[in-house]
Copies of this chain bind each other. A is one copy, B any other.
Amino acid sequence: MSQPRPFNFSAGPATLPEEVLQQAADEMLDWQGSGMGVMEMSHRGREFISIYEQAVGDLRELLQVPANFRILFMQGGGLGENAIVPLNLSRGGKVDAVITGSWSTKSTNEAKRYADVHVAASNLADRHRSLPPASSWQLRDGASYVHVCSNETIDGVEFHELPDLKALGSAAPLVIDFSSHVLSRPVDWSRVGLAFGGAQKNIGPAGLTIVVVREDLLGHALPSCPSAFDYKIVADADSMFNTPPTYSIYIAGLVFQWLKKFEYAGKSGLAAIEQRNIDKAALLYAALDSSQFYENRVAANCRSRMNVPFYLRDERLNDAFLTGAKARGLLQLKGHKSVGGMRASIYNALPLEGVQALCTYLKDFEAQNG
């Protein structure tokens, strides 16, 4: 590539670091002198086992996952986990759920097929634009878990602090769907029982699902849970009960290595990427807020650092906006069909320069059309 790559704001599958893609291309036919590409390796051979162990170890280090949590590489994505979580954790009993947007709504509806689900709080009346304060949640005694989507990809709402369920009087483990902001910031594991996420936003290719689960939550699957999706079976087999999505794990591993080496503003690793994410988000929200031409509708205290939905106040200009963006190499800015408008997903791999270019375009388009 002699010219710079366009900036890709897709909500997922999403942009990946150029260095990662380049290394993957270079190693496609021969991984480190093995005579095989990674796609062609037995998952039981020492070559792939070394890739797997490095990836698990690096993810554990990046997210500072405590020793009493297991890291599982699974399949089926977030929508698959919406069933797999209650199949494994609900014991057919009570589940409390907090509705904060499209994804937590989907999770809640799917869980109802397996458990007695109670909506402990919801921001629906506010059209998913704010977060119901944890102090207002109606949690039940004896819930098997409490489900939260810690970053709503479509609505652009993010928990900047995870709820402390113990302080709220609940003994239930917290389950978080962190698909769209995993690895963008640290996780407070003292408040979490299980976290899951599809890889295709901040990690790597679609088709890999990350599950981080506290060991005491293993081994309680309902009888109807498929063996391949039983956390205990998967954990006992080191994610190799069935053939894992090997190439996706390899790409995820390259992303983890990229993150470990990442430096920004005098910081390194996850702290560095978090700082850059803070700076990118601040830049973009400031550009939107300073204009009467665009608007972001999410309450300031829970705006997502990853997914920034915004609207042109004159929506007749939407098509022209997208056409002009593409001409400048700003790709996939169209909003989700369920909410319309625009959305800039500014995941880890999207450079600061991408947000700067978008902000410049916002100004220029407004100047021409405002």
| A107 CB, nearest partner CB in chain B, Å | 11
Cβ-based interface call for A36 (8 A): yes
* Docked-complex contact B76 and A242, CB < 8 angstroms: yes
Q: Which 5 A-B pairs have the closest CB atoms?
A: A207-B245, A83-B226, A79-B242, A6-B35, A25-B28
Please, which residues of chain B bring their CB within 8 A of the CB of A30? Answer: 1, 5
With CB as the reference atom, state the residue of chain B lying closest to A29.
B21
Contact assessment for A8 and B36 in the assembled complex, using a CB-CB cutoff below 8 Å: yes
Q: What are 25 A-B contacts defined by CB distance under 8 Å? A: A10-B45, A13-B40, A13-B41, A15-B36, A15-B40, A21-B39, A25-B28, A25-B29, A35-B331, A36-B331, A75-B75, A75-B80, A75-B207, A75-B245, A76-B229, A77-B243, A79-B241, A80-B228, A82-B228, A84-B226, A206-B243, A206-B244, A206-B245, A207-B243, A207-B244
CA distance A50 to B91 in the complex (A): 42
For residue A41, which residues in chain B have a CB less than 8 angstroms away from its CB? Answer: 10, 13
Is the beta-carbon distance between B80 and A13 smaller than 8 angstroms? Answer: no
Q: Is the CB–CB distance between A246 and B13 below 8 Å?
A: yes
Q: Is A42 in contact with B13, judged by CB distance below 8 angstroms?
A: yes
Asked whether, in the complex, the Cβ of B25 is within 8 Å of the Cβ of A39, the reply is: no
A11 interfacial by beta-carbon distance below 8 Å: yes
Q: Is the interface of A mostly helix, strand, loop or mixed?
A: loop
Q: How far is the CA of A10 from the CA of B41 in the complex (A)?
A: 7
Stretch of A133-141, A197-205, A290-298, A307-315 lying at the B interface:
A197-205
B-side contacts of A87, CB under 8 Å: 226
Whether A22 pairs with B29 at a CB distance below 8 angstroms is yes
Bound: A21/B40 CA distance, A: 10
A208 CB–B CB distance under 8 Å: yes
Give residues of chain A (313-363) contacting chain B, Cβ–Cβ below 8 Å.
329, 331-332
Q: Is the CB of B42 within 8 A of A10?
A: yes
| Mask: chain A, 8-24; 1 = CB below 8 Å from B; 0 = not | 10111111101001101
A169: CB under 8 A from chain B? no
- Shortest distance between the CB of A335 and any CB in chain B (Å): 12
Q: Does A266 contact B (CB under 8 A)?
A: no
Smallest CB gap from A11: residue in B: B42
Q: Chain B residues near A80 (CB, 8 Å)?
A: 75, 226, 228-229, 242
Kindly supply a per-residue 1/0 record for chain A positions 157-175, scoring 1 wherever the CB is within 8 Å of any chain B CB and 0 otherwise.
0000000000000000000
Cβ of A43 under 8 Å from chain B: yes
In the complex, chain B residues whose CB is within 8 Å of the CB of A6: 35-36
Evaluate contact between B226 and A110: CB separation under 8 angstroms: yes
B-chain residues with CB within 8 Å of residue A21 when the two chains form the complex: 28-29, 37, 39
Select one of B5, B114, B207, B251 contacting A224, CB under 8 A: B114
Query: A192-242: which have CB < 8 Å to B?
Result: 198, 200, 204-208, 222-224, 226-229, 241-242
Taking CB atoms and an 8 Å cut-off, the chain A residues in 117-162 that contact chain B are none
